[in-house]
């Protein structure tokens, strides 16, 4: 995208309503704009971030055999009356009425709907297991929305639901999902630590929260540094092998991790001192296994091997996609602005043309930009260099390709890594290669 043509409204001053870093930076970098309390519009760059996050989440869900669906945002109250939650859910649920006086609600979650959909179609244990997910907007009418997109009322969430024949199979599904989450967060470039959460109606330790470490986090966290060192992307775990899954689960859960509410001083004392990590964190995911709660209350059953009907075992698994956009910034920014992890950045790099109008600069910038116009942001505005540097730092592109008259004349550009501030001078081809983009095509070779 050419910045001169893009809808990327950056703000020089801090909006009065934004208190925390991510909220401030998202507004200033032109990612979002507020429409009402806790409700935001996503501008082009923000939407790209959201999509990048969602795509990684999607790929990792698919990798464990989950299938994507898309359910409505509006649900009939009837569905929730069946599970008993229409009355149980508080004012956080946005209730509305259509022209025929039928009660509807804007979904705060989808257990009822998915369970109903499942029940309509699945008849036999032979069709199990099933894991279905969607990435969709939800609404919870929070009393007090805050922290921008991290605590909004409307939010984008990946929610998955699993159906299994028995508790053992359900636990295996749970463990696969845990692995998928670890891989997802690792790919997103953030440290998200799984912490034991409230066990729920089934008991046991099959409920985990995933917490991103950030100084402004809402809860205090304590964990074993060993959890940071794991490489889940390259560890081969046979998803069909329950023994292997159990081993993996033990590997994760044997390392201490807890939020302040569940912190256990005795267990903490057993963690080697040099591996004790203490800080604050933001919850970005939650997985839990809850058995037959909904299949039972909603009267959903399938035939077992013996011909007798039974209620499938369920779990549900959420990731706050829009919250992650904010949480990642909380975990990765500095005084100048956002520092995007490569995987979620709206643009891989910004090309800063320090002197538009200079034939050498223009030609070199166009050549670089032409290599991947979609992945790159070309700052071709007739602004002063300082403005471009500041905006690039603010928007947090992982790389900046700085093209000035002197360098252009020599066929050299300066490549700056946002995260480290490191700068190197090299050829345009080398710069693109470092960024991980295909080389410049077409005639010309080196710049004149």
Partner RNA sequence: CGGGGCGUGGCGCAGCCUGGUAGCGCGCGUGUUUUGGGUACACGAGGCCGCCGGUUCGAGUCCGGCCGCCCCGACCA
Of 25, 26, 31, 34, the one binding RNA by CB under 7 A: 34
**Helix residue ranges per DSSP H, 39-102:** 44-63, 77-83, 85-88
Smallest gap from Cβ 263 to RNA, in A, equals 16
CA 414, distance to chain mean position in Å, is 31
Residue 330 binds to RNA (criterion: CB under 7 A): no
From residue 122 to residue 151, what is the string marking binding to RNA with x (rule CB under 7 A)? Answer: ------------------x-xxxxxx--xx
Binding residues for RNA, rule CB under 7 A, total 62
Residue 215 binds to RNA (criterion: CB under 7 A): no
Residue 436 binds to RNA (criterion: CB under 7 A): no
Residue 427 binds to RNA (criterion: CB under 7 A): no
Residue 289 binds to RNA (criterion: CB under 7 A): no
Measured distance CA(51)–CA(135) in Å, rounded: 10
**Nearest alpha-carbon partner for 178 in 203, 164, 195:** 195
**Nearest alpha-carbon partner for 199 in 189, 190, 185, 209:** 209
Residue 41 binds to RNA (criterion: CB under 7 A): no
Measured distance CA(383)–CA(365) in Å, rounded: 15
Smallest gap from Cβ 147 to RNA, in A, equals 6
**Nearest alpha-carbon partner for 211 in 197, 226, 229:** 197
Instruction: Give whichever of 10 and 230 is closer to RNA, judged by the CB atom.
Output: 10
Task: State which of positions 91-120 bind RNA (CB under 7 A).
Answer: 91
Tell the residue number behind the tokens 């179609």, with chain if given. 121
Neighbours of 166 (CB within 10 A): 13
Of 119, 291, 320, 428, the one binding RNA by CB under 7 A: 320
Instruction: Give whichever of 102 and 384 is closer to RNA, judged by the CB atom.
Output: 384
**Nearest alpha-carbon partner for 346 in 20, 102, 13, 43:** 43
Burial degree of 274 (CB within 10 A; 0-12, 13-18, 19+): exposed
**Angle between helical axes of 44-63 and 321-331 (0-180°, round to 10):** 110
Of 164, 283, 313, 330, the one binding RNA by CB under 7 A: 283
Smallest gap from Cβ 210 to RNA, in A, equals 8
Instruction: Give whichever of 176 and 416 is closer to RNA, judged by the CB atom.
Output: 416
Residue 212 binds to RNA (criterion: CB under 7 A): no
Residue 362 binds to RNA (criterion: CB under 7 A): no
Measured distance CA(98)–CA(363) in Å, rounded: 58
Judged by CB under 7 A, the stretch of 56-64, 152-160, 165-173, 228-236 that binds RNA is 152-160
Residue 5 binds to RNA (criterion: CB under 7 A): no
Measured distance CA(10)–CA(26) in Å, rounded: 9
Helix (H), strand (E) at residue 224: strand 219-224
Helices and strands (H and E) in the chain: how many: 14, 23
DSSP letter at 275? G
Residue 267 binds to RNA (criterion: CB under 7 A): no
Helix (H), strand (E) at residue 310: strand 309-310
Strand partners, 281: 213, 219
Smallest gap from Cβ 417 to RNA, in A, equals 11
Of 55, 230, 372, 390, the one binding RNA by CB under 7 A: 390
Of 4, 5, 17, 370, the one binding RNA by CB under 7 A: 17
Of 106, 155, 185, 369, the one binding RNA by CB under 7 A: 155
Of 6, 10, 296, 363, the one binding RNA by CB under 7 A: 10
Instruction: Give whichever of 134 and 165 is closer to RNA, judged by the CB atom.
Output: 134
Measured distance CA(173)–CA(164) in Å, rounded: 8
Residue 430 binds to RNA (criterion: CB under 7 A): no
Q: What are phi and psi of 380, to 5 degrees?
A: -105, 15
Residue 322 binds to RNA (criterion: CB under 7 A): yes
Q: For binding to RNA (CB under 7 A), which residues are involved?
A: 10-17, 19-20, 23, 34, 36-38, 91, 140, 142-147, 150-153, 155, 157, 209, 218, 283-286, 318-320, 322-323, 336, 354-355, 357, 383-387, 389-391, 393-394, 402, 404-407, 414, 416, 423
């Amino acid at each position: 995208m050419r910045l001169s043509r893009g809808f990327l409204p950056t703000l020089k001053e801090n909006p009065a309503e934004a208190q925390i870093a991510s909220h401030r930076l998202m507004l200033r970098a032109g990612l979002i704009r507020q429409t009402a309390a806790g409700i935001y519009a996503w501008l082009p760059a923000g939407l790209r971030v959201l999509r990048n996050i969602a795509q990684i989440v999607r790929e990792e869900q698919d990798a464990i055999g989950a299938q994507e669906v898309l359910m409505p945002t509006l649900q009939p109250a009837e569905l929730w009356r069946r599970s008993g939650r229409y009355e149980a859910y508080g004012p956080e649920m946005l209730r509305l009425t259509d022209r025929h006086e039928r009660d509807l609600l804007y979904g705060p979650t989808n257990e009822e709907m998915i369970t109903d959909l499942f029940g309509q179609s699945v008849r036999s244990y032979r069709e199990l297991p099933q894991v279905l997910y969607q990435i969709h907007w939800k609404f919870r009418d929070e009393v007090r929305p805050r922290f921008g997109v991290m605590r909004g009322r409307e939010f984008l969430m990946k929610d998955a639901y699993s159906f299994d024949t028995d508790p053992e199979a359900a636990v295996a599904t749970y463990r696969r999902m845990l692995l998928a989450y670890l891989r997802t967060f690792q790919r997103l470039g953030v440290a998200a630590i799984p912490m034991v959460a409230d066990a729920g109606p089934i008991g046991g330790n099959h409920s985990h929260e995933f917490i991103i470490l950030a100084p402004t986090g809402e809860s205090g966290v304590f964990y074993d540094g060993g959890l940071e060192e794991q490489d889940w992307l390259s560890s081969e775990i046979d998803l069909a092998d329950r023994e292997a899954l159990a081993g993996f689960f033990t590997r994760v859960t044997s390392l201490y991790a807890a939020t302040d509410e569940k912190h256990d001083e005795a267990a903490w004392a057993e963690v080697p001192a040099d591996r004790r990590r203490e800080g604050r964190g933001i919850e970005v995911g939650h997985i839990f296994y809850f058995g037959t709660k909904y299949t039972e209350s909603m009267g959903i059953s399938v035939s077992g091997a013996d011909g007798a009907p039974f209620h499938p075992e369920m779990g549900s698994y959420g990731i706050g996609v829009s919250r992650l956009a904010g949480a990642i910034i909380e975990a990765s920014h500095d005084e100048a602005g956002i520092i995007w992890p490569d995987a979620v950045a709206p643009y891989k790099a910004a090309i800063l043309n320090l002197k538009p109008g200079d034939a050498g600069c223009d030609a070199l910038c166009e050549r670089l930009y032409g290599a991947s116009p979609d992945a790159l942001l070309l700052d071709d505005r007739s602004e002063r260099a300082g403005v471009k540097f500041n905006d690039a730092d603010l928007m947090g592109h992982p790389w900046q390709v700085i093209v000035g008259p002197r360098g252009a004349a020599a066929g050299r550009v300066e490549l700056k890594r946002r995260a480290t501030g490191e700068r190197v001078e090299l050829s345009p081809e080398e710069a693109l290669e470092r960024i991980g983009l295909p080389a410049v095509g077409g005639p010309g070779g080196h710049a004149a």
